[in-house]
Structure formats: structure tokens, C-alpha cells
Structure 1
Amino acid sequence: MAVSLTGTRISGIALPWFVLVTTGSATRTGLVAFFEMAPYVLVKALTGPMVDRAGPRVVSWTADLASATAAAAVPVLHASGLLSFPVLLALVVLIGAARGPGDLAKEVMVPEAAERGRVPLERATGLSGVIERLAATVGPAAGGTLIALVGPLTGLAVNAACFAAGSVIIALALPRHMGHSAEETPPPDSFPKGSPKSSRAGPGEPGYWQRFGEGWTFLRGDPLLLALIVMVGVTNLLDAGFSAVLVPVWAEESGNGPTGIGLVGSTAGITAIAGSLLAAAIAHRLRRRAVFFIGFLVAGAPKFLVLASGAPLGAVLVVFAVSGFGAGFINPIIGAVFFERIPRPLLGRVNALGDSLAWSGIPLGGLIAGAAVAAVGLAPVLLTGGIAYFLTTSLTGLRPEWRAMDRTREDARERASGLVRDPSG
């Protein structure tokens, strides 16, 4: 995960910059970003049944190999004079489409890694969160430095090398029996009552769309997972508009410029890493629901409101530091809840649907924020965004389904010790 995610973050700097300096068009740069993310979300949603059927190991290394090939083709074709803009878009679509199932497959292997390592699930998801935060913090810095020294094409070549290395690590370095399909040997009573069962054996083996429907049926029948997805989907939309539009506009209007953007992003990223590390160490001992909602309380609305207030940069950095620290606790808890509530044979398709639904608002965040700022100005939009964030992440916690967040862990512990056999709790 560390290798492939770091390569992705480097590419996130190198590819837009390559398009901008070779075409001079901000519109084409935006098109490239869209053509990478749209297939990522769509293909990730649709490949859940494939991950469950084929096993996450083979999907991970083959998807990373496909991403490496497409990424390496960009500098090779450019050097040969064969890289037209339509060809570039086609390669970007391939990169995004392959990244989706590759990322999904690695996520699906986290609970198995936790079992093999004999560590609490919150610790495993916390360490996974640390890797994501480090990649998000170190990758752009490394990518920017690399591009400044040797140009964007070298950055794209490094991205391809990272994907290739990730493919080799997953294919060769994992334990031999890890990452295979959970459908091959489904454990008894591994499905909640009333949920669909599927098996690889027999002439009546379900097809792709039936498997896809099984994942949707399970997800639709779990109120806690649905509540999590809706909440994260709204906050992702708000965060996308915040980072893509509101922070740059604030930096320009406040006079802090690009330096201000870098400082607030780095501050939040560093403290988020610290929060994820602490979550990996102690989150399994804490009440999940309380930590989850406190984390969102400090991670969301305050950063909108401090920018709306016109506070000096020092105060803004303090708020962003606290915000990042709180955010570090959120994803480990979400990951642990998902992995505990979803039966292993359904993990790929349910996770794929959940991730894609939660990410569905991200492409719209910047568009909505940009139109709103143009219509009413920055401060009203920041204030409205902060209020929306607070209502989404606080008042919704009063609904009864959230109580199951703490029960999920207790039921998982009882199952692990052999006290109960029904994973539905």
C-alpha cells in the first residue's frame, strides 16, 4: 500500500503539471483529472464481485501491473512523438480504471493481515490510515521536488515503477495462502440471517450480476453501514469543495498565497498522521461512537469557520492542526466497523459499493463550491459549509443505528472467543 499510494500521489502532481506545461490549457488539465477519477470510482464499484470471486491477491498484482504499463506508456509515447491528447486521455482512463480494483483488493486484505498478525482490527486499520496519510503528505512533496529537478515525465516514470514494485510485492512477498478468495471455503454461519449465500461450487453458481446484487442487498439491509456511507459521502463532498476551491480562494484573498495553502495542508497532514498512529495504539480500548463523533466534531466545521472568521495565519494553523489530529481517528474506526460487519465472502463487493457511494460526491464538490463562491462570495460559503458539516456529523449521531457501532466490536470479540456464531449480532 505504501509503495502504490506514494506513486499515485506523485502522479497526482506530475500528470496535471505535464498536461499544463505541454498544452497550456487549464481546461485540458481538468479533463485529465476527471478522466482518471470517474473510471476509478465506477470500475471500483463494479469489480467487487470479481475481487470476491478471484481473490484480492491476484486482482491487486494484476491491476497494479496494468497501471504500471499505462503509466509507463505516457513518457514513452511522448518521447516518440506519438502522444496526442486523445491517446493521453485513453491512457489516463486505463490508469484510473486499474487503480480502482487494485486499491479495493488491498483494502480487502487488511482484516486477514490483522488476523495473521494477531492484532486488534482498529490497530490494523489505524496503521493502514497512517500509510494513507504519509502518502498524502510525503508523495506530493516528493513529486513536486522531483518535477522541479528533472521534469514531469520522470515523475510519471517513477509512478509506473511504484505500481510495478507494488505488483511484485503483492505477488511474491505475501504468505502463500493469503489473499485468496473467501468464497472457496466459506465458514459455517458466516452470513447474517436472511442475507444471500453464494458458493463457487455447483452448476447453479451465481453470475456476476447476481453476486453484485448480493452485495447491494447486504448493504441495504445494514442501517449502520448505510448511515456511515451517507455521512462520509456528504463530508467528502464538502471536503472536496473546501480543498479544491475554498482554501485556494482564501489564500488569495487573505494574501497568504500558495505558501498558505502548503502550510495548512502540511499542518493538517502531519497531525493526522499523529492521530492515526495514536488510534492504531489505543483505539481498540476506547468507545468507538464517542471517539468517532468527537473526531468529526474537531475535524470538520472548525476549519471552515476559522477561515470565514478572517483569523490570522497562526490561528488558522492551530485549528488545522487540531482538525487533522481528530481526522486521524476517523478512518480506522470506519474501517474496523466495515470489516467486522461484512461477511468475508461479501467483503469485496460490499466495500466496493460503499467506497464508490462515499466518493460519488467528490467530483461535484469543486463545481458546487466554485459556483457558490462566484454567486455569494467566500465567507458565506465557508459559514454555510461549516454549519452543514456540523449538522451532518453531529445531529445525525442521535439516530438509534449508531448505537450498533460499539456493539459491533463486542460481538466480534465474542465470536473470536467462540461464545457466539452469528455474525449479525
Structure 2
Amino acid sequence: MTENLSRRPLTGLLVAQLVSVLGTSMSALAIPWLVLTSTGSATRTGLIAFAELAPYVAMQALGGPLVDRIGARRAYVLGNAAAAVAVCAIPALHAISLLPLGALAGLVAVAGAVRGIADCAGQVLVPGTAVLGAVPLERAAGLHGSANQAGLLVGASAAGVMVSVLAASAVVLVDGITFALAAVLVALLVPAAAQPRRSRRRLSTRRYVADLAEGVRFIRADRLMLVLVTMIAVTNLLEQGINAVLVPVWVRERLHQPQALGLVAGALGAGALIGALIAAWLGPRLPRRVVFTVGVLIAGAPVSLVLAWTSTLPPALTAAFVAGLANGGLNPILHAVLYERIPPQLRARTLGAVKASAWIGTPIGPLLAGSLIEATGLRGTLLTFAMVFLVATAVPVMLPVMRHMNRTPRPQPDGTRAADNEDASR
């Protein structure tokens, strides 16, 4: 196999991920817009958005044992194909006036659940396609993150333009087509050799719970992974509070220009995309621990500090872009470490447990931010978030266990790893 052919599976997966995330981000705007324009009810719009998001998050976290049995490649293909059917059914039923709210909620819930399984499978396929193409894990993870960021940026922008010139149902149809295209790309370009060996054990309820618990135990037994997962959970909580509450309140109180919300979000997203691309290019040549330490310190507290002490847009946009740039470079390192430390046969269930841990605090962030604003005001809340962010990022990176980020443990046949003193640093 030539070098170009050997890298075709990774290329196919990246393009499929870009297309699938395009559909996901378009759905996040087009489906709520369809409900809002059809019913005029903000409450019903929120219910439909929740009906789609909750199963998506749940199945990303809980779908690992299913992916183990189905196989990552098949799970990705079937998940996106099922999402295409469910999403395309929405405009079809809407066109013949057979789409009550309950049916719409059921369809988006099915689409969210199967896309959650597909995205869980996609994470599992990244290291396998990287190995087939002889691509360093940092580069493969960086390119995968770049595909996600590009899909989010382009999809949201495209959906915003399309709903202004087309019927919302037509945009939803385009969403469904993107999922079908993602399924076809992986089916044609990603071989079964890219996935870990499928589990042959029958999946009973007891076995399912045991498999999920095995992923959690693996994280708890690995000190480096435990530190990283804990830090991610805390920083995600803080980031959700900042993005969902503190930035909108800052825009309302300091700028009085609602369009600034989109500009800040765009600066953050653009920085994250560029950061992921830079990490994909330079990541294999750089010391992971140094880059990660600098990145987490820049991506966290500075945004809150800048917002606390400025009332103009340019400093906020600069801080958001720099934070996004730093944050975009972190995920490739994190995923490379996870791919190296988790044995192939445990990746689906362990990555699912990592996902669940990372998301566990996100609903609390906005509640915490809102409560603190009522108690201490906007500036006091921003400074509090900055201080907590600094502690949550500075303390972990100073722990001795973090030196193992630069190592490459070898999975053993029994699922354990070689001793951490085996030096495979880059």
C-alpha cells in the first residue's frame, strides 16, 4: 500500500467528521428555528432542543459497550445513517402536516441518541486510522479536532444564512443529507482494520453495567488520567458559566450591543480552529507537558480577568481569540495521551467515561454564575471565576505525575500498561 493510500482511512474519517459536525451544528439552529416559526412558542422550542441534546450527551457517555459489540466502524456508519433517516423524516412529515410536537420530539431524540453513539465510535477510530497512515497521534488528534471546529464554525454560519433565504424545513433536509454522506464516506474509505477487535461477549444488562464500570475503574487506577479528567470537569463547568451567562451579561451591561455576542463567540471559535491546526502541524515536535501547561494557563483565567476590567469590545475579542488559540492546542495533546494510555479493547467504554466526567458539571456552571452575579455583581463574579480557574489549572500542572504526559506506555495483553518509567518520550 502506498503512503497516500495508507492515509486514505484517516482522510476519509476526517472528512466524514467535518460533514457530520456540519449537520450537527446546522441542526442545532435549524430545528429550533423550525419549531419557533411553526408554533411561536419559546417553551416548545426549548423542549425540542433538550430532547435532541440530552440523548446525544447520554449516548456519547454510555454508548461505549454498544460500540464494543457492534464495532466502531459499523457503529459510526449505522449511527449516521439512522440519524439521516430520522432527520430527513422531519421535513417530509412537516410537508404533509403530520408532524405534531410529540413526533418531532421523538425524531430528534432518536437522531441525538444515534449521533451520540456515532461520535463515540468516531473517537475510537482516530488512533486506528492514524496507525494505518503512520501519522503521529498528536497530529491525528489535532486534525480531528480541527474538523470538529471547522464543522461547528461553517455549519452555524451556513445555517444562519440558509434559514434566512430558505424554509427551515429545507435546511433540516440538508442536515439529514450530511449525516448520510458521513456514513457513506466511512463505509467506503475506512476499513475494519482501523477499529479495535470487537467484543464477542453477549451484552446483558449486568454485562453492560460492568463494562461501564470497567471504564471508570481504569480512569481511577491511572493517576495521570484521573488528574486530567478532574481538571477537565472543573474547567468545563467554569467555561459553561462564562459562555452561557457571564459573557451575555457583560455584553448587556457594558456594550449594549447584542451582536457582540456573535463576535466574541466567533473569535473564540476561530482561535480554537487555528490552535488545533497548529497543534496538528507542530504537536509531534513539541514537549507535551510544556505546551499543555502554557495552554491551560492562557485558556482559562485571562478571559475572565479581561472582561472584569474592560468595557470595550477589542480587548474582549483579543482575549477570546487567544484563549481559543490556546484551548484548540490542548485537545490534541489530551486525546493523544488518552489514546496511548487506554488499551484498544477498552477505548470505547473508557472514552465514554471520560466524556461523562467532562460533562458532569456543565449544567452547574450557568447556575453558579447566575447566583454569584446576584450576590457579588458582574465584576466580582468574573474575578471569582478567574481565581478558581487559575487554581484549577495551575495546581494540576505542577503535580509530579504530569511528567508522564511525555511518555508512551505500551498496552499489555491483559489490558494493563508497561511501567511509567519506560521512556518513550517524543
Please indicate, yes or no, whether the TM-score normalized by the shorter chain is above 0.5. yes
Report the Cα offset of residue 374 of structure 1.
4.1
Q: Distance in 2 between matches of 1:369 and 1:37?
A: 22
Cα distance, 1:180 vs structure 2 = 4.1
What corresponds to 1:268 in structure 2? 268
Instruction: Report what 1:387 is aligned to.
Output: 387
Structure 1 counterpart of 2:146? 130
* Counterpart in the other structure of 2:368: 368
Q: Give the distance between the partners of 2:243 and 2:167, measured in 1 at CA.
A: 25
Alignment correspondent of 1:38 = 54
Determine whether 1:99 maps to 2:115.
Answer: yes
Return 5+ residue gaps in structure 1 as ranges.
184-198
SS in 2 for 1:305: helix
Counterpart residue number, 2:73: 57
Q: Distance in 1 between matches of 2:220 and 2:214?
A: 10
Partner of 1:8: 24
Q: CA deviation at 1:143?
A: 0.8
Q: Distance in 1 between matches of 2:405 and 2:93?
A: 50
Bigger mean CA deviation after superposition, 23-32 or 52-61: 23-32
Task: State whether structure 2 residue 209 is matched by structure 1 residue 178.
Answer: no
SS in 1 for 2:324: helix
- Give the Cα–Cα distance (whole angstroms) in 2 for the partners of residues 49 and 181 of structure 1: 13
Residues 186-335 of structure 1: matches in 2 within 5 Å? 200=200, 207-335=207-335
Work out the CA distance in 2 between the residues paired with 1:57 and 1:90.
Answer: 26
Indicate whether 1:29 and 2:58 are aligned. Answer: no
- Report if aligned partners of 1:41, 1:360 keep a CA contact under 8 Å in 2: no
CA RMSD of aligned residues (A): 2.3
Q: Assess if the C-alpha contact under 8 Å between 2:341 and 2:417 holds in 1.
A: no
- Which stretch of structure 1 is more off in the superposition, 2-11 or 166-175? 166-175
Q: Is the 8 A contact 2:82 2:114 kept in 1?
A: yes
Deviations 1:260-298 (A, max 9, x none): 112112122222222111111111222211211211111
Query: Distance in 2 between the 1:397 and 1:144 partners?
Result: 40
Give 1:194's aligned residue. none
* Aligned-partner SS, 1:81: coil
TM superposition score normalised by structure 2 = 0.88
Number of aligned residue pairs: give it. Answer: 399
Query: 2:356 maps to which residue?
Result: 356
Runs of 5+ unmatched residues, structure 2: 1-16, 421-426
Shift in alpha-carbon separation, 1:369–1:126, aligned structure 2, 3 A:
same
- 2:254/2:311 contact within 8 Å kept: no
Q: Is the 8 A contact 1:341 1:424 kept in 2?
A: no
Aligned partner of residue 326 in structure 1, secondary structure = helix
Residue number in structure 1 paired with 2:345: 345
Residue 375 of structure 1 deviates from its aligned partner by 4.4
Quickly say closer, same or farther: Cα 1:370–1:86, change in 2 above 3 A: farther
Matched residue type, 1:286: L
Rounded to whole Å, the distance in 1 between the matches of 2:224 and 2:417 is 17
CA contact (8 A) 2:23 2:178 kept: yes
Aligned equivalents of 1:289 and 1:306: distance in 2?
26
SS of residue in 2 equivalent to 1:109: helix
Give the partner amino acid of 1:146. M
